Amino acid sequence: MKVLLSLIITLVWATLWAQENPVALKYAQQLLYTAQTGESATEMETALASYDAAALQKELNTDALRKTFWINVYNASVQNALAKNPDWFNKPKSFLKRKFIIVAGNTISPNDIQNALLRNDAAGKPVKGKFAKKFAVENFDNRIHFALNNGSADAPPIYFYEAHSIEEQLKEATRNYIKSHVKMTERGFEVNVPEWFNWYLANFGGTDGLIALFRKQEVVYMNLTPRIVWLPYNWNPALKNFAAATADK
């Protein structure tokens, strides 16, 4: 009886572990590791390209898993692509539209991951295509903007995101980026903000929502509503901007 109970417990834990650590998620993390170390990404890229779509859909069955997977794939793919083809970033906006990422037989772009899969219809345009409808997050989380690194100097640092801790990791990424990039003027009448916040202003609840976010992160005084000064976006390439905590992984 004890042996049977032990076996049941083992099977339950194995099932839970598999749910929290799907193979596709492991591949995405290993792909990101190649971006950090400079090792060949061919094996992981091939594994993700040939991954069974039905199996992927079954594995990515929560928003935490979908966010973790797609953020890691985005960051890894951008880093690896620009390391091999630095001239692609001569026109960064065109690069982000370039379809060079293959997952489960579907070729997609960084923008596809950000807008269709991670923002879903938050961009104001409902997702299109069977692939996006199968793998897009159900509930948009505006903190993904602090997790996606497009290879530029103003992009946030890269973390190795994990499903079981992504909530805390996104909190940390949001807090760290805002504290390092959003600055109040000395008198507190203005706040200097990177221009990309303005591109996604609706995702943050407009100007009022953005100021509320800055108050929450304690970069704007609670009793002030400063004027926002948009700082030009720095598109200069800046690869391998991994968070300090990531480097020790």
Question: Are the beta carbons of 108 and 129 closer than 8 angstroms?
Answer: no
- Phi, psi of 228, rounded to the nearest 5 degrees: -85, 130
- Phi, psi of 212, rounded to the nearest 5 degrees: -60, -40
Q: Tell me the C-alpha distance between 53 and 149, whole Å.
A: 26
Distance between alpha carbon 145 and the CA centroid of its chain, in Å?
A: 7
Token pair for residue 30? 């290993």
H helix count then E strand count, the chain: 12, 5
Q: What is the DSSP letter of 164?
A: G
Start-to-end Cα distance in the chain: 41
pTM beyond 0.85: the answer is yes
Per residue of the chain (249 residues), give pLDDT as tens: 544 444 443 333 333 334 456 899 999 999 999 999 999 999 999 999 999 999 999 999 999 999 999 999 999 999 999 999 999 999 999 999 999 999 999 999 999 999 999 987 665 555 567 888 899 999 999 999 999 999 999 999 999 999 999 999 999 999 999 999 999 987 768 999 999 999 999 999 999 999 999 999 999 988 888 999 999 999 999 999 999 754 333
How is the chain split into domains, by residue range?
Answer: 2-152
